[in-house]
Amino acid sequence: MPTAPASSVITRVADVLNMFSPRKALVSIDEIAACLDVSTASAYRYASELSNAGLLSRTSGHYRLGPKIIELEYLIRSYDPIIRAGHSLMTGLAELTGCDVLLCNIYDLHVVNVHHIRGGQPMEITYTKGLPMPIFRGSQAHVVLAHMDRRKLKRIHDQAVLDPELRPDVHAIGETWQEFTRTLKQIRSQGYYISRGELDADVTGIAAPVFGDDKEIVASLVLSRRSSLPSRLSEEALINLVVEAAREISRRIDQAALVETELVPAD
């Protein structure tokens, strides 16, 4: 019987890094060996190489995330083109509305808050910067799903309906694949989505899509406010502001990509 192909080096590095979570700051060699399905000696070799690269650090016989992670976070925070395109607009939006403004990026099946400007309202948001958000709940998730490639969307839908924890969230969007896609098509058509208490009680989120220079969705811009507090502006005005700000961020991303292309010497 043929053996399964070995995991790539990148996949194994990702598997080790994905072991860490808010509930698990340290991992042992035995846990690394089990995660990668390798011998203890091989686990030590992987851990040593990751430590040399700064991705892990050894502490009392266990391993924690290394300083390279912090270095990469600084580079993202300071130089990421999507954050740079959105920062001033997000700051202005927070000052004008008094609401929190979030920029959520996408990778694989994860949506993560990568930039967060606080408004004037006292508000507790569970999914703060860096904490992955649910893929089927909240305004940011609905906007991402509504603009996702259909084949990828079908794959994650079919996987999710087999998961007892995710199935209720999927069915809240649509009980069948046809209903699911019909709901997302409506969201895509209107250009935004409003969630009310889907992630946190008493929090309303309004999200609009941000597109890259290839016209694919790269992020969602979210305005969050306390549902029980009076708003400075009408909900219609807030929707228009979020949608226009997301369009402007998309325009700036596209313009930045065009400038970079023009700076590349011709062959």
3 located within any domain: no
Q: Which of 29, 22, 24 is nearest to 50 (CA)?
A: 29
| Domain shared by 151 and 185, yes or no | yes
Residues 116 and 163 occupy one common structural domain: yes
Same domain, yes or no: 155 and 61 = no
* Averaged pLDDT, 109-132: 86
- Residue 66 sits in the same domain as residue 104: no
β-bridge partners, 63: 27, 58
**56 and 34, same domain (yes or no):** yes
106 and 153 co-located in one domain: yes
Looking at the domain assignment, is residue 55 inside a domain? yes
Supply the Cα-derived Rg of the chain in whole angstroms. 21
Specify whether 24 is located in the same domain as 129.
no
- Three-state SS at 175: coil
Q: What is the pLDDT of residue 6?
A: 52
CATH code: domain of residue 122: 3.30.450.40
Q: Are residues 85 and 170 in the same domain?
A: yes
Domain assignment present for residue 1? The answer is no
Residue 131: the pLDDT is 84
The answer as to whether 59 is a domain residue is yes
Q: In this structure, are 120 and 230 located in the same domain?
A: yes
What is the C-alpha to C-alpha distance for residues 183 and 257, in angstroms, rounded to an integer?
33
Q: Is residue 177 part of a domain?
A: yes
pLDDT tens digits, residue range 28-46? 999 999 999 999 999 999 9
- As a whole number, mean pLDDT of residues 78-83 equals 91
pLDDT score for 24? 93
Same domain, 65 and 84: no
Indicate if 62 and 84 belong to the same structural domain: no
Whether residue 257 has pLDDT greater than 90: no
Residue 2 included in any domain:
no
CATH number for the domain spanning 50: value is 1.10.10.10
217-226/203-211 β-pairing? antiparallel
Query: Residue 22 belongs to what domain range?
Result: 9-70
Rounded CA-CA distance 84/257 in Å is 13
Number of domains in the chain: 2
Which amino acid is it at 79?
Y
Q: Please tell me the distance from the alpha carbon of residue 153 to that of residue 156, in angstroms, as a whole number.
A: 5
Any domain includes 197: yes
> How does pLDDT run across 41-71, given as a tens digit for each residue?
999 999 999 999 999 999 988 999 999 999 9
Same domain, 172 and 50: no
- The mean predicted confidence, pLDDT, of the chain is 90
Does residue 4 lie within any of the structural domains? no
User: Has residue 151 got a pLDDT over 90?
Assistant: yes
Q: 217: how many CB neighbours lie within 10 A of its CB?
A: 19
